[in-house]
Each structure stands twice: as C-alpha cells, then as structure tokens.
C-alpha cells in the first residue's frame, strides 16, 4: 500500500506511461476537454515537465499537482486513486470513462445519420433519372405544343447540362463528409444535444464515486480520500463529510458519505455505498442514451431526409403541374 508514502516524480512518470499504453491500445483517454490523442500526449508531457520543475524547487508532487492550473481535476483524481490505491489499473477508468461516454454520443449521432444518408442516395439516383429521362419527355411535350419550357422544367434542363459536374461532385462531397465525420466527430462536444450535460455529469460523478471507494478500500479515511480527490473535478453543492470539513459534493454523494455506518465496518460499507452510487449515476447516464436512441433518428431523419424528399418531390411534380395548367388553358 502507498498509505503515507510520499510520491516522487518517478511515480508520476510511471503513471503517465500507463496512460500512454492505454492510448496506444486505442482506449479513449479523456482529460476533460475532448482533446485528440496527439494533444493528450503533449498535455501529459507538459504536466510532467511543469510538475518536475516544481519538484526541483522543493515542492512535493502532491502540492505541485494541486497548485498547477494546467492539471485537470479528472487527471488529479485518477492519479490520487492510482498512487494511493496501490497503483490499480482500474483507477485509470476515471480517465477513460469520459472518453467512452463521448464515443457513446458519437455512435448514437452516427446511427441517426444513417437514414438521411440512405435517403440522399435514393434521391441522388432518382434525380439523375429525372433529369435524363423524365425531363426529356416533358421537353418533347412542350415542343409538340409549341410552348417554351416552364421555369421548373428549364431548371431541370440546366441541371441536365451540368450533370457531369454535380453528378461527380455530390458523391465526392458525401465521401469526404463521411471521412471527416469518422476522423473528427470523436472529439466534438455535442453541446447542442439535449441531455448531453446531464449525461457527462453523471459519468463524471460515477467515476468520482468509484475513485473514492477505491481509496477507502486502500485503508484511507473518508476525509483523507475526499481531500486527495479534491472538488475541482466536480463543482456542485457544498456538503459536510463525516470529519467536519466542507467539500463540494453532489446530493447522492452527500448521502453516500454522510450515512451513519456506526454499526458496520466503516471502510467496506462506505465503499459499497459509493459503488452503489456510481452504478446509480451510470444508470442515469444510460437513460439519457436510451432517450437519444428513441428520438434522435426520428428527428434527424425528418429534418434531413424530409428536406431531401421535399426537394425531389418539388422537382418531380412542378413541371408536370405547370404543363397541365398550360394544357387546360382554352
């Protein structure tokens, strides 16, 4: 156990090396701001150099991590759990949970975009048939009645002339859009998505509860564990922990840390409560995911797919309606 042991810069280097291995294995490390892997590597190196500089001036690793503004709260929480919890690999889940959550959002939005992509493909080939065959038949009809093409038919004829351009350009744009989505969407914040903030907060609180439970299981007191993790990673309502020191904890974490366990083994029971709290927060996050799966494909399908079908329908029926108006005139 690392109870009471003073951390060294070598311990911090070993911790960062563990994170590098996770990155190399393709796991989504998240430092709280959606940085791409190469930027995360740079930030880890920068944290290491800043802390090393402070340590060379006589400051402890713990003080340097607490005072360095560059260090994200989630990183410090994972470090404290890893070092003081006897270097458990599962402590690194605090840094992978947010990345996994962001990937879950990406998967749901990507699934919702499949339907409009299918509709776009159908509309694309339907529009090609429209300008090559239907527009030609309408043009011949106008020639037979000695009338100039209507405005909508003239637009279709222009589209037929430019078919070699847009016929190639549209698939290329779709292809590059899919490639861009695949490479870039993992680091998007998705702030526009309803419930996204609640989802990410629930994941963060669940990770915090698990880190706190791990420290208790490593023979640290509740007050010491809360002090190690700090409140920067959370930022919520002020609560009193059993030692009397004020810390910022959300409501359910207040319950898990303040419940009287005088008749039971303190550490094991408190850790069990915290793990129950973590499961509850993850359940709340999963409910947001289920909501997205139910309405997101419908909304995006109606907005994008509906607009595509509307444009195709107008292009198809407007020339016919205008032709019927001309033929019905006395």
**Confidence at residue 248, expressed as pLDDT on a 0 to 100 scale:** 60
Report pTM: 0.73
Q: What is the mean pLDDT of the chain?
A: 82
Q: Residue 110's CB: how many other CB atoms inside 10 A?
A: 14
pLDDT on residue 124? 94
Average pLDDT over residues 23-27: 80
- CA–CA distance, 230 with 220 (Å, rounded to integer): 15
Q: For residue 310, give Cα distances in angstroms to 263, 304, 314, 324.
A: 68, 10, 6, 21
pLDDT at 4 over 60: no
> Mean per-residue pLDDT for 48-58?
89
Residue found under tokens 């129950």: 276
Residue 235 pLDDT more than 80?
Answer: no
Output the pLDDT for position 232. Answer: 60
142-153 per-position pLDDT tens digit:
888 888 888 888
Q: What is the pLDDT of residues 247-256, one digit of tens each?
A: 567 888 888 8
Q: CA 98, CA 281: separation in Å to the nearest integer?
A: 13
Q: List the structure tokens of 116.
A: 């409009």
pLDDT score, position 245? 43
Contacts of 200 (CB under 8 A, 6+ apart): 98, 101, 102
Query: What value does the mean pLDDT take over residues 267-296?
Result: 88
> pLDDT tens digit string along 154-194?
999 999 999 999 999 999 999 999 999 888 887 777 888 88
> Would you tell me how many other CB atoms lie within 10 Å of the CB of residue 274?
27
pLDDT band at 233 (very low <50, low <70, confident <90, very high): low
Strand-pairing partners, residue 246, are 240
Instruction: Provide φ and ψ at 247, rounded to 5°.
Output: -140, 150
> Which contacts of 292-299 are long-range, i.e. CB under 8 A and separated by 24 or more positions?
292/105, 292/108, 292/112, 292/193, 292/195, 293/108, 293/111, 296/108, 296/109, 296/111, 296/112, 297/111, 297/112, 297/114, 297/115, 299/112
| Residue-wise pLDDT tens digits, 85-135 | 766 676 777 778 877 887 888 888 888 889 899 999 999 999 999 999 988
């Amino acid at each position: 156990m690392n109870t009471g042991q003073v951390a060294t810069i070598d311990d911090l280097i070993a911790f960062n090396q563990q994170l590098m291995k996770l990155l190399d294995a393709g796991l989504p490390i998240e430092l709280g701001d959606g940085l791409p892997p190469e930027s995360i590597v740079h930030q880890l190196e920068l944290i290491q150099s800043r802390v090393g500089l402070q340590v060379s001036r006589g400051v402890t690793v713990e003080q340097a991590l607490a005072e360095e503004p560059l260090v994200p709260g989630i990183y410090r929480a994972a470090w404290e759990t890893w070092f003081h919890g006897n270097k458990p690999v599962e402590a690194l889940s605090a840094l992978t949970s947010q990345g996994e959550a962001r990937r879950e959002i990406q998967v749901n939005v990507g699934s919702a975009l499949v339907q409009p992509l299918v509709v776009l493909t159908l509309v694309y080939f339907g529009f090609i048939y429209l300008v090559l065959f239907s527009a030609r038949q309408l043009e011949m009809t106008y020639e037979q009645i000695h009338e100039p093409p209507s405005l909508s038919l003239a637009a279709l004829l222009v589209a037929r002339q430019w078919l070699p351009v847009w016929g190639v350009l549209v698939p290329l744009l779709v292809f590059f859009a899919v490639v861009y989505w695949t490479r870039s969407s993992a680091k998007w914040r998705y702030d526009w998505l309803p419930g996204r903030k609640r989802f990410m907060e629930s994941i963060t609180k669940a990770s915090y509860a698990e880190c706190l439970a791990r420290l208790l299981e490593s023979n640290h007191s509740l007050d010491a564990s809360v002090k190690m993790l700090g409140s920067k990673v959370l930022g919520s309502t002020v609560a009193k922990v059993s030692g009397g020191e004020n810390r910022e904890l959300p409501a359910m974490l207040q319950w898990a840390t303040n419940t009287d366990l005088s008749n039971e083994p303190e550490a094991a029971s408190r850790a069990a409560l915290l793990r129950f709290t973590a499961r509850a927060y993850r359940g709340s996050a999963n409910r947001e995911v289920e909501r997205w799966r139910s309405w997101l494909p419908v909304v995006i399908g109606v907005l994008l797919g509906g607009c595509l079908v509307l444009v195709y329908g107008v292009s198809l029926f407007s020339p016919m309606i205008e032709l019927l108006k001309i033929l019905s005139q006395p």
